[in-house]
Structure formats: C-alpha cells, structure tokens
Structure 1
Amino acid sequence: MSVVAPGPKVLYAEFTALPGCEETVAELLAGLADEVRREPGCIEFAPYRVSTEPSRFFVYEVYLDDDAFTAHITAPYGRVFNERLVPLIVEDGSQLTWLQPLSS
C-alpha cells in the first residue's frame, strides 16, 4: 500500500523546443515563472536551459503541499501556458519527474 507523505511536493519538468521556437518557449516560461512565484503555496519555481543543449528546458519546482500543487495545476494561466507550449515543443507536454527526500 502506498501512502502519500505530507509535506512539500518536489518535482522537475523537462521539455525540448522545436527548432526555431527556442526563444518563444523561453519567453513563455519566463512569463509563467512570474505568475507561479506569486502563488501562496509556491516555495520555488526555477526554470533553466540546459547549457549544452539550448533547446532543452528544465524547471525545478517545490510546492508547500498537495493543496498548493493542486492550486498550481488548476491556475488559469497554467492552462494558457500549456496550450501555447505544446505546439512549440517536441514532447506532448512537460515531462514531470517527482522527487522525494532520501530521509524524512
């Protein structure tokens, strides 16, 4: 049986811009970062580009708890971001990887 641990929700998202779309994706992501960082439950939202592969984007995210993450994914600006992002990237959407601490 799997039990969801209380506490911060930590993940990273990755995606690859299509050729010629790199700067548009970077601008969209910068705008999203401004919005997400204002969310009360957002602890960290840190977007990066992979230095050796500028079409690859990586976002490290930390939310206070499940409720904060739910508020994040249901925010209207997130839906708009994803609608605009999907046609500009290789993947079908952001590829999410959930992280958990080594010790509690």
Structure 2
Amino acid sequence: MTKTLLAEFTAREGAEDEVARMIVEYAEKVRQEEGNVTFDVYTKAASPRAFWIFEAYRDEDAFQAHLKAPYGGPFNTALAPLIEEDASVLTFLDAVN
C-alpha cells in the first residue's frame, strides 16, 4: 500500500530563498530513490514562506528506506535553524477510493 504524506514548514523571514534552494536539491535526491513515487514541493500562494511537500512512496518499506537515506539527516539539520517549527510537520494521508 502506498505511503503518502504532506510535510509542512515555514521558512523564517528572509530565509525563504535559501530554504527553496535546499529543498530543490534535496528533492532531486529523493526522486531518485527506488521506492519514491512522488516528491512535489509547493509554497502557499498567499504565504510564500510556507512550504508544503507532497510525498508518496511505494510502501512502508520504501518510506523507511527514505528515512534512512544518508542525505536526510544532514538536510534536516541544515533546515532546522531556517524554519519556524522545530521540524517539518508531517501529516500522513489515506486515499479515499
């Protein structure tokens, strides 16, 4: 069963360009993961500092492999001081069909 989630965070004032650069580089790596189905990055139209990442993985094992990827930890460490939250806020989603 596909593992789908929405990750949200808000860039600190003045950090939005750096956050955008970092997330684009990170997205390129994640999209190469064998079990990644999608990794789409958005900002809210009304609030360009608010980032939303729509992620889907083939299954729970693929999601766990994503969490263990060697570039994930360094990305999250570098992101932490640039966002208002302590970390990305994750919302797990279930398909309605």
Q: When the two structures are superposed, what TM-score results if normalisation uses the length of structure 1?
A: 0.91
Give 1:86's aligned residue: 80
Query: Is 1:62 matched with 2:53?
Result: no
Classify the secondary structure of the residue corresponding to 1:79: helix
Larger radius of gyration: 1
The equivalent position to 1:98 in structure 2, one of 80, 92, 96, is 92
What is the distance in 1 between the residues matched to 2:43 and 2:96?
Answer: 26
What is the distance in 2 between the residues matched to 1:78 and 1:31?
Answer: 12
**Cα offsets for 1:24-60 (capped at 9, x unmatched):** 0000100000000000000000011111101000000
- Given residue 43 of structure 1, which amino acid in structure 2 is its aligned partner? V
Q: Which runs of 5+ in 2 are unaligned?
A: none
Query: Is 1:48 matched with 2:42?
Result: yes
Identity over the aligned pairs, expressed in percent? 45
RMSD value, Cα: 0.6
Give 1:21's aligned residue: 15
CA drift at 1:77: 0.6
Number of equivalences: 97
Classify the secondary structure of the residue corresponding to 1:76: coil
Runs ≥4 in structure 1, deviation > 6 angstroms? none
The equivalent position to 2:5 in structure 1, one of 7, 11, 14, is 11
